[in-house]
Amino acid sequence: MEVTLLGTGDTTGTPTPGCACDTCDRARELGVERTRFSVHVHDEDTGESLLVDASPDFRTQMLDRDVALPDEVLVTHVHFDHLDGLGNAYRLLADVPVHAADERDPETGESVAGTVARKYDYLDAVTADPRTPLEPFEACGFEVTLVPVDHPPLVCYGVAVEDPETGAKLSITGDTTWAIPEASREVLRDADLLLADGIVPASLSEHHPLGGRHEDDRGVPRTFGDKHMTIEGARAMVDELDADRGRVVHTAHYTPPEVAFADDVAVDGERHVL
């Protein structure tokens, strides 16, 4: 299993257009980016590739990282930075199944799979494939399981991707607070690589209208507001789930540069062979 981190940023990415903050300036100096979130998972045995989340930066990500176009796609939730890259299926992809949860979202009135089907009904290449959370299914030679996480007000899912031949395992928390249900944690546990959502350091929680939540024993918030983990929370989740390796992803440019470019905070283009 070869995992390429195509996009490791939040909704605006880093550098953010028009921004001259210290972190965006430092990213330009280093020549690194955090585009909108997307992960490419290649199965060397079958030659197939699974794309986890379809970033609006799809085109440049594919060109910059020189990876194969996906044979199948999985969408974790319907925020535009994880979904709207599906429009790139036009003239690029053929008969691509898009796996997504079949649970009805009380906020939108439809499931993630239903939203995919409705928004992209004009694209013959895209076929929404409803999947039941916590029930494994096969995709690109992998065993894949969607797991519910906590990203209000919408339903959102993490995912575990396992190679049945080698036992290699990738886990992705999805966009979430610390309050991942225990059943989901069990599925994500013991990964060779865990990609954990950490948007900003806990110290910035004081600037959020809702503050920070899910404090650890030292009083450090592991949730920023009500949608994402803090970077400290992401690191704690790596430990909590006994991952061999962990990378902090979905990090915002508000993160000060001394934290934003720490060794365990991912940038675009990283490749991990599991």
pLDDT of residue 256: 97
pLDDT of residue 84: 97
Residues 6+ away with beta carbon under 8 Å from 236:
178, 216, 222
Rounded to an integer, what distance in angstroms lies between the CA atom of residue 110 and that of residue 179? Answer: 23
Domains of the chain: 2-273 (3.60.15.10)
pTM of the model: 0.97
Percentage of the chain beyond pLDDT 90 is 99
Given a contact cutoff of 8 angstroms between Cβ atoms, the answer to whether 199 and 229 are in contact is yes
pLDDT of residue 253: 98
Given a contact cutoff of 8 angstroms between Cβ atoms, the answer to whether 229 and 196 are in contact is yes
Tens place of pLDDT for every residue, the chain, 274 residues? 999 999 999 999 999 999 999 999 999 999 999 999 999 999 999 999 999 999 999 999 999 999 999 999 999 999 999 999 999 999 899 999 999 999 999 999 999 999 999 999 999 999 999 999 999 999 999 999 999 999 999 999 999 999 999 999 999 999 999 999 999 999 999 999 999 999 999 999 999 999 999 999 999 999 999 999 999 999 999 999 999 999 999 999 999 999 999 999 999 999 999 9
